[in-house]
Amino acid sequence: MTAHPAIPLAGVIGNPIGHSLSPAVHGFWLRRYGIRGHYIPMQIAPEDLAEVLRALPKAGFVGCNVTIPHKEAVFALADAVTDRAARIGAANTLTFQPDGTIHADNTDGYGFIANLHAGAPLWRADAGPAAVLGAGGAARAIVASLLDAGVPELHIANRTRARAEALQAEFGDRIRVHDWAEVGAMLADVATLVNTSSLGMGGGGDRVPMAALPPEAVVTDCVYTPLITPFLADAAARGCTVVDGLGMLLHQAVPGFERWFGRTPEVTPELRQTVLDQ
């Protein structure tokens, strides 16, 4: 008999999971590079998470992505975590070692910064203060990545001020917290503006007053449905450079694919279009 090498398996776990675009991203790369591997969506209930994670390496899985509501839980279950995952307190990329141990990382911040550089090649973190709208899970990774990149000051506004203050307490004295009613004034002199909230999802929601926002600012939105949200459209009307949120999803997938399938994939216009067509 001829020995056949194991086919690497990976996937994305969440609850629910049907909305995830990750299978389209990784499936595109597997086909593009002719890799004999598979990437599948897996809907896992919270009460089954620990048992399923320990079983996946035994079933031939080399790793998986993690989406809501499991990012904090898998961080706690991992045998080893990267420094950036530890700083954020959540993981979105798991790699299973040959002995079955679980290595956890968070690539959301990497994807965010890579997307900014791709969509606004002249962007510099040290160009001036940054402002972040929202203080949820996505904000944690983005705040950490902006601070690490070198923003001199970071303003945060959230509808629930206490959540923004919690980020300030954790990430240090470069953070400035503002009431949600102060968002318009907060944008004066801002060089980088990021929306991490659900504001504008589906094309609706409140509008952010942008009269004080400098036209030289780079503005990005984590929401990518629609691709150009009202938030980005308003910023573009002021003359700002805008970067849509889809690229963050695509770029954060790169490190995991590289670890699991042994090839560094490229984020290309063809990949973007394939995902948009889903």
Segment (H or E) for 220: strand 218-221
Q: What is the mean pLDDT of residues 233-240?
A: 97
Token digits for 35? Answer: 């890799």
The answer on whether 83 is annotated among ligand-binding residues is yes
pLDDT at 169 over 90: yes
**Do 21 and 114 belong together in one domain?**
no
- Residue 102: DSSP 8-state: E
Cα 120 vs. chain centroid, distance in angstroms? 17
149 with 226, same domain: the answer is yes
Alpha-carbon distance of 98 to 100, in angstroms, equals 5
User: Of 80, 53, 51, 48, nearest to 66 (Cα)?
Assistant: 53
Q: Per the domain annotation, does 1 fall within a domain?
A: no
175 falls within a domain: yes
Please give the share of the chain, as a percent, with pLDDT higher than 90: 90
Give the other-Cβ count within 10 Å of 197's Cβ: 25
Are residues 134 and 223 in contact, defined by beta-carbon separation less than 8 angstroms?
Answer: no
Domain membership of residue 209 as a residue range: 109-243
Whether 47 is in a domain gets the answer: yes
4 occurs within a structural domain: no
Per the annotation, does 134 bind a ligand? yes
- Choose the weakest-confidence range: 117-121, 145-149, 201-205: 201-205
159 is in an annotated binding site: yes
Active-site hit among 26, 70, 71, 272: 71
| pLDDT given at position 3 | 59
Residue 14 pLDDT > 50: yes
Instruction: Report the number of distinct structural domains present in the chain.
Output: 2
- Looking at the fold, whether 149 and 234 belong to one and the same domain comes out as yes
Question: Would the annotation count 89 as a binding residue?
Answer: no
92 is in an annotated binding site: yes
Spatial strand order in the sheet of 192-195: 175-178, 154-157, 130-133, 192-195, 218-221, 241-243
What does the pLDDT look like over 81-123, one tens digit per residue? 999 999 999 999 999 999 999 999 999 999 999 999 999 999 9
Whether 126 and 181 share a structural domain? yes
Report how far apart the first and last C-alpha atoms of the chain are (Å, whole number): 41
pLDDT-derived band at 223, boundaries 50, 70, 90: confident
- 240 labeled binding residue: no
Confidence grade of residue 202 (pLDDT, cut at 50, 70, 90): low
26: in domain: yes
Residue 88 maps to which CATH number? 3.40.50.10860
Average pLDDT estimate for 199-211: 72
Residue ranges of alpha helices (H) inside the chain are 22-32, 49-55, 71-77, 83-88, 108-119, 137-149, 161-171, 183-186, 230-237, 246-252, 254-261, 269-276
Residues 89, 162 within the same domain:
no
133 and 202 co-located in one domain: yes
Q: Is residue 156 domain-shared with residue 262, that is, in the same domain? A: no
Asked if residue 260 and residue 148 are part of one domain, the reply reads no
Is the confidence at residue 4, as pLDDT, over 80? Answer: no
- Residue 200 pLDDT grade (very low, low, confident, very high; cuts 50, 70, 90): low
Q: Mean pLDDT, to the nearest integer, of 237-261?
A: 97
DSSP 8-state code for residue 36: -
Residues 157 and 169 in one domain: yes
Q: If we measure between CA atoms, which residue out of 161, 160, 241, 253 comes closest to residue 194? A: 241
Coil/strand/helix, residue 62? strand
Note the pLDDT of residue 207: 86
159: domain CATH number is 3.40.50.720
Rg (CA), the chain: 19
Q: Which of the four pLDDT bands, split at 50, 70 and 90, describes residue 1? A: very low
Asked if 71 is an active-site residue, the reply is: yes
> Is 147 a residue whose pLDDT tops 60?
yes
Spatial contact of 202 and 178, defined as CB atoms under 8 Å apart? no
| In a shared domain, residues 81 and 198 | no
Whether residue 157 is found in the same domain as residue 55: no
Q: How many CB atoms lie within 10 A of CB 45?
A: 9
> Same structural domain for residues 61 and 121?
no
SS3 of 186, please? helix
Q: pLDDT confidence of 215, banded at 50, 70, 90?
A: very high
- 29, part of any domain: yes
Q: What single string gives the DSSP state of each residue in 175-240?
A: EEEE-GGGHHHHTTT-SEEEE-SSTTGGG-SPPPP-TTS-TT-EEEES--SSSS-HHHHHHHHTT-
Q: What is the mean pLDDT of residues 69-73?
A: 93
Choose between 203 and 47: higher pLDDT. 47
Q: Does the annotation flag 22 for ligand binding?
A: yes
Name the average pLDDT for the chain: 94
Query: Mean pLDDT across the stretch 200-204?
Result: 53
Domain presence at residue 142: yes
Amino acid at position 5, single letter: P
- Is residue 3 in some structural domain? no
Whether 76 has a binding-site annotation, put simply, is: no
Residue 253 pLDDT: 98
